[in-house]
């Protein structure tokens, strides 16, 4: 027993020493680098969107560093990001945020992917007064908590598909419509649902199916069977990438005829590529589209961003990547205007942000959400076998007319 | 006998001093240390059924999640309308005063300990008649079902999740929150250890062991096995509920399946940690949890994206090379240190036979 105790004490003191020597090995500004921290979903259910986010961040970091970096106090600094994998788990994300701030000494954070994870990280960054610019947490409840250090470059989730309901009512001759909806059980999708509920109330529309889908989403046949039986005017589905893929797969398999199909995450799921003609006519909410006419000096236009991104990563950038890149532009702008690395000065500079990026105009409301940028809707349209996303609303950017109603499966080639 | 006790005393007081000093020594690691305490509590109490009683439960996560939701609900519900708090997109902001926060937390933890214990009694009465694999599968279902049900209850946030009350803003020191949760979890850890240690010296443990080794014989001996099985499970539920309540406050955001009824992670981890250290021993789960936590925190960030593969390899290695866990392996290697008397002649004779 004596030896065991000795061994135990020795090992504990060894661990103690290592831990103590580990602390504070990093600093907020390390030589010529400004260190940002981010927990990203590299594994788990959000892994595909997590990678889109990370690619967006990396693309912007490279570009900004190449084009002269960030100028603060007459000196040029480069961005560097410390990533951890949050495994798509809010618990892990909160823990990693703590770790980034306390152990890695990060003083500025970039957001994770998804509203749920942002919800878990925001209390931590708020506690330590760390400014966080996030690009992938759209849930409205994030912006009603009075957070002072949270800034989102995207429009809140409830705005995603509200327009689609208005569009359906308009196509119905101004009369209320019958809505069927199915949403994943997560913070983001449930917020999209609240937006639909608001829109339904406003237009007097009736919700005839209101289903919840599980998180590891791969089957929604039960909902679709009901849709077949009740014939609603609009079917709304939201459940991140897997939701979009599952919906299209099963709608085409079950030959569900519905005049209008509104979804989220079509471009992140690469729907038009993966399901080709089966995904035609799907109406999708998006934060960004390459055809929009916004510009900045780092990425040029949306089209140029699209081209550069394709060259770098081999696929067309979904809006998740674009908004993530925009987050870095916001940080750069704020650092330069603050002309300081003082967290509160940077935070104040972020509050005053008013800029245009290739992704859209950015100006933060009192809750931290971006109030300067509208959502857009695009529709998947095919020519022969190649399908593309065409912007159909709002009319300012619409490149195509909205096709309604969706032809029946029996009439589709 | 006295001498051993004295050594124990040194060990325990050393550990307690280390535990109390830890948040000051490793100020940056407070949250990880809090996790460690909670993990140890979970592993140690899981060991009561899994190790001592031989009933492998995957259902303890039910009590953990229940404790988490209960603490947060009570903490909010005592002062505000719970429905308005969890309603997403609500424009109102509610702020707990310092006194309200701690009162709510205290009462919440109390409820979080008591209710899961009662639930364990009720469920245990229904399903502890099942044995072996049947019990394991049944409890696996419990956690999953609870997650799905919680995800549909609007008043606790449903799929939106439940943001727990933020730490009172009146306490300006940013370290205070970490310290509060650390000491809370350390207190629960000490309580759990004292309790389990007490059980290890009691007849109760022998009964649990008897159930594990041969339940029918135990029954034939006149032991009311059902009663002891239920009580055993209730003991675990008590501490799981407390652990869950603390974690909910620490994480700050409760999601039905990813944080509260997180059978895929916490539920599996507690089993894994107990097995890694050696189930059916007092120190095994503690060592297992500590090693596991160090492995997880130390290695995982260096193998971004591959950590679950590494975890899989770890499980295989444990099962193949340390089927009895680290404690079991040590015991086999150095039996004399565990107080087992070995007849030298007999051992030599055996070696020669080989």
| pLDDT tens-digit map of A85-94 | 998 899 899 9
Task: Assess if residue A368 is contained within a domain.
Answer: no
- Please give the average per-residue pLDDT across A388-395, as a whole number: 87
Which residue in A158, A273, A183, A277 sits closest to A235, CA to CA?
A: A183
- Residues of B whose CB is below 8 A from A85: 300-301, 304-305, 307
DSSP state letter for A410? G
Task: Assess if residue B189 is contained within a domain.
Answer: yes
The pLDDT of residue A14: 59
- Chain A residues 136-165 within an 8 A CB cutoff of chain B: 139-141, 144-146, 158
Do A19 and B26 count as a contact with CB atoms less than 8 A apart?
yes
Task: Assess if residue A302 is contained within a domain.
Answer: yes
CA distances from residue A303 to A60, A306, A308, A324 in whole angstroms, order as listed: 15, 5, 9, 16
Least confident of A71-75, A309-313, A329-333: A71-75
> Which two three-digit tokens encode residue B235?
């003991």
Task: Assess if residue A231 is contained within a domain.
Answer: yes
Strands (E), chain B: 162-163, 253-254
Q: pLDDT tens across A279-297, in order?
A: 999 999 999 998 888 999 9
The pLDDT of residue A28: 64
DSSP state letter for B281? S
Domain that holds residue B135: 25-270
- Chain A residues 103-122 within an 8 A CB cutoff of chain B: 103, 116, 119-120
Query: Does A146 share its domain with A176?
Result: no
Strands A300-301, A376-383: pairing is: unpaired
Task: Assess if residue A112 is contained within a domain.
Answer: yes
CATH number of the domain at A58, please. Answer: 3.40.50.2300
Q: pLDDT tens across A216-252, in order?
A: 788 999 999 999 999 999 999 999 999 999 999 999 9
Q: pLDDT tens across A93-118, in order?
A: 999 999 999 888 999 999 999 998 99
The pLDDT of residue A186: 86
Do A212 and B151 count as a contact with CB atoms less than 8 A apart?
yes
Query: Does A281 share its domain with A326?
Result: no
- Chain A residues 36-65 within an 8 A CB cutoff of chain B: 42-43
| CB-based contact, A396 to chain B, within 8 Å | no
Task: Assess if residue A76 is contained within a domain.
Answer: yes
CA-based nearest residue in chain A for residue B168: A127
Task: Assess if residue A5 is contained within a domain.
Answer: no
- When pLDDT is cut at 50, 70 and 90, the band that residue A24 belongs to is very low
- Are B57 and B42 contacting, i.e. CB atoms less than 8 angstroms apart? no
Q: How far is B179 from chain A (nearest CA, A)?
A: 13
- Residues of A whose CB is below 8 A from B300: 85
- When pLDDT is cut at 50, 70 and 90, the band that residue A26 belongs to is very low
Q: How many domains does chain A have?
A: 2
- Are A179 and B153 contacting, i.e. CB atoms less than 8 angstroms apart? no
Q: Residue A201 CB: number of other CB atoms within 10 A? A: 10
Element (H, E) at B191: helix B175-200
Strand-pair partners of A383: A386
Mean pLDDT of chain A: 89
Q: How far is A112 from chain B (nearest CA, A)?
A: 15
Query: Does A234 share its domain with A338?
Result: no
Does A325 have pLDDT greater than 90?
yes
Strands A300-301, A283-286: pairing is: unpaired
Reduced to 3 states (helix: H, G, I; strand: E, B; else coil), residue A178 is: strand
The shortest CB-CB distance from A23 to any of B18, B28, B337 is to B28
- Are B276 and B268 contacting, i.e. CB atoms less than 8 angstroms apart? no
Q: Is B265 exposed, middle or buried (0-12, 13-18, 19+ CB in 10 A)?
A: middle
Domain that holds residue A249: 159-286+375-411
Task: Assess if residue B170 is contained within a domain.
Answer: yes
CA-based nearest residue in chain B for residue A21: B26
Q: How far is A127 from chain B (nearest CA, A)?
A: 6
Query: Does A246 share its domain with A328?
Result: no
The pLDDT of residue A220: 93
Do B252 and A94 count as a contact with CB atoms less than 8 A apart?
yes
The shortest CB-CB distance from B253 to any of A120, A144, A215 is to A120
Angle (CA) A330 A331 A333, round 5°:
65
Q: How many domains does chain B have?
A: 1
The pLDDT of residue A23: 44
Task: Assess if residue B42 is contained within a domain.
Answer: yes
| CB-based contact, A291 to chain B, within 8 Å | no
**What is the spatial distance between Cα A346 and Cα A149, in angstroms, rounded to a whole number?**
10
- Residues of A whose CB is below 8 A from B31: 95, 98-99, 102
Query: Does A298 share its domain with A353?
Result: yes
Reduced to 3 states (helix: H, G, I; strand: E, B; else coil), residue A150 is: strand
- Chain B residues 71-130 within an 8 A CB cutoff of chain A: 88-91, 93
pTM for this entry: 0.83
The shortest CB-CB distance from A141 to any of B7, B89, B152 is to B89
The shortest CB-CB distance from B163 to any of A119, A129, A214 is to A119
Query: Does A280 share its domain with A319?
Result: no
Per-residue pLDDT in tens (0 to 9) along chain B, 354 residues: 455 678 888 989 999 999 999 999 888 888 899 999 999 999 999 999 898 999 999 999 999 999 999 999 999 999 888 888 877 555 566 778 899 999 999 999 999 999 999 999 999 999 999 988 899 999 999 988 999 899 888 888 877 888 888 888 888 888 888 899 999 999 999 999 999 999 999 999 999 999 999 999 999 999 999 999 999 999 999 999 999 999 999 988 898 888 999 888 889 899 989 988 988 889 999 999 999 998 888 777 677 667 778 888 888 888 888 888 888 888 888 877 777 766 777 767 766 665
Task: Assess if residue A403 is contained within a domain.
Answer: yes
- Are A131 and A350 contacting, i.e. CB atoms less than 8 angstroms apart? yes
The pLDDT of residue A3: 61
Task: Assess if residue B19 is contained within a domain.
Answer: no
């Amino acid at each position: 027993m004596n030896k065991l105790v000795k061994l135990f004490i020795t090992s504990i003191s060894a661990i103690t020493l290592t831990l103590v020597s580990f602390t504070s090995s990093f600093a907020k500004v390390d030589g010529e680098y400004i260190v940002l921290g981010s927990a990203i979903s590299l594994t788990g259910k959000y892994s595909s969107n997590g990678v889109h986010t990370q690619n967006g961040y990396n693309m912007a970091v490279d570009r900004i560093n190449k084009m002269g970096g960030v100028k603060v106090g007459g000196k040029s600094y480069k961005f560097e990001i410390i990533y951890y994998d949050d495994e798509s788990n809010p618990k892990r994300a909160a823990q990693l945020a703590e770790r980034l701030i306390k152990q890695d000494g990060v003083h500025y954070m970039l957001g994770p992917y998804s509203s749920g994870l942002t919800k878990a990280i925001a209390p931590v960054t708020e506690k330590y007064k760390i400014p966080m610019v996030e690009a992938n947490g759209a849930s409205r409840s994030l912006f009603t908590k009075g957070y002072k250090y949270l800034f989102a470059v995207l429009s809140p989730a409830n705005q995603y598909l509200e327009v689609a309901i208005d569009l359906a009512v308009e196509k119905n001759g101004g009369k209320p419509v019958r809505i069927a909806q199915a949403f994943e059980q997560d913070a983001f999708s449930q917020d999209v649902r609240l937006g639909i509920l608001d829109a339904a109330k406003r237009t007097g529309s009736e919700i005839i199916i209101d289903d919840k889908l599980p998180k590891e989403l791969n089957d929604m046949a039960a909902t679709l069977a009901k849709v077949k039986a009740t014939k609603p005017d609009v079917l709304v589905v939201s459940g991140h990438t897997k939701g979009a893929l599952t919906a299209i797969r099963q709608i085409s398999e079950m030959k569900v005829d519905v005049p209008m199909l509104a979804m989220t995450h079509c471009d992140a799921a690469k729907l038009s590529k993966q399901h080709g003609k089966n995904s035609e006519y799907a109406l999708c909410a998006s934060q960004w589209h390459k055809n929009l006419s916004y510009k900045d000096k780092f990425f040029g236009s949306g089209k140029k961003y699209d081209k550069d991104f394709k060259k770098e990563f081999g696929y067309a950038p979904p809006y998740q990547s674009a908004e993530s890149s925009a987050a870095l532009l916001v940080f750069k702008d704020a650092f330069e205007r603050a002309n300081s690395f003082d967290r509160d000065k940077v935070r104040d500079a972020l509050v005053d942000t008013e800029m245009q990026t290739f992704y859209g105009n950015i100006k933060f409301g009192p809750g931290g959400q971006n109030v300067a940028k509208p959502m857009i809707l695009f529709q998947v349209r095919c020519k022969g076998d190649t399908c593309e996303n065409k912007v159909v609303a709002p009319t300012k950017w619409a490149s195509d007319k909205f096709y309604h109603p969706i032809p029946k499966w029996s009439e589709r080639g | 006998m006295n001498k051993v006790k004295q050594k124990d005393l040194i060990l325990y007081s050393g550990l307690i001093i280390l535990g109390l000093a830890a948040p000051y020594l490793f100020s940056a690691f407070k949250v990880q240390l809090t996790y460690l305490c909670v993990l140890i509590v979970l592993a140690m109490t899981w060991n009561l059924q899994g190790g001592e009683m031989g009933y492998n439960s995957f259902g303890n996560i039910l009590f953990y999640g229940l404790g988490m939701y209960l603490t947060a609900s009570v903490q909010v519900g005592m002062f505000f309308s719970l429905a308005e708090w969890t309603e997403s997109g609500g424009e109102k902001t509610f702020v707990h005063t310092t006194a309200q926060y701690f009162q709510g937390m205290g009462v919440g933890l109390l409820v979080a300990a008591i209710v899961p214990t009662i639930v364990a009694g009720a469920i245990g009465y229904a399903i502890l008649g099942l044995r072996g694999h049947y019990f394991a599968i049944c409890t696996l279902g419990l956690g999953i079902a609870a997650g799905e049900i919680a995800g549909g209850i609007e008043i606790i946030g449903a799929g939106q999740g439940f943001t727990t009350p933020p730490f009172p803003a009146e306490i300006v020191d940013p370290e205070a929150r970490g310290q509060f949760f650390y000491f809370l979890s350390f207190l629960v850890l000490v309580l759990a250890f004292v309790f389990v240690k007490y059980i290890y010296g009691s007849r109760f443990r022998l009964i649990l062991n008897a159930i594990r080794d041969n339940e029918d014989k135990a029954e034939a001996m006149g032991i009311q096995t059902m009663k002891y099985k239920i009580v055993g499970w209730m003991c675990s539920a008590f501490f799981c509920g407390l652990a869950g309540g603390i974690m909910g406050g620490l994480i700050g955001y409760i999601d039905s399946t990813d944080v509260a009824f997180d059978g895929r992670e916490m539920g599996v981890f507690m089993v894994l940690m107990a097995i890694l250290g050696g189930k059916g021993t007092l120190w095994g789960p503690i060592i297992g949890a500590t090693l596991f936590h160090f492995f997880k925190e130390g290695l995982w960030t260096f193998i971004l994206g591959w950590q679950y593969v590494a975890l899989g390899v770890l499980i295989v290695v444990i099962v193949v090379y340390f089927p009895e866990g680290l404690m079991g392996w040590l015991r086999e290697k150095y039996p004399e240190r565990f107080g087992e008397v070995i007849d030298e002649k007999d051992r030599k004779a055996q070696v020669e036979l080989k």
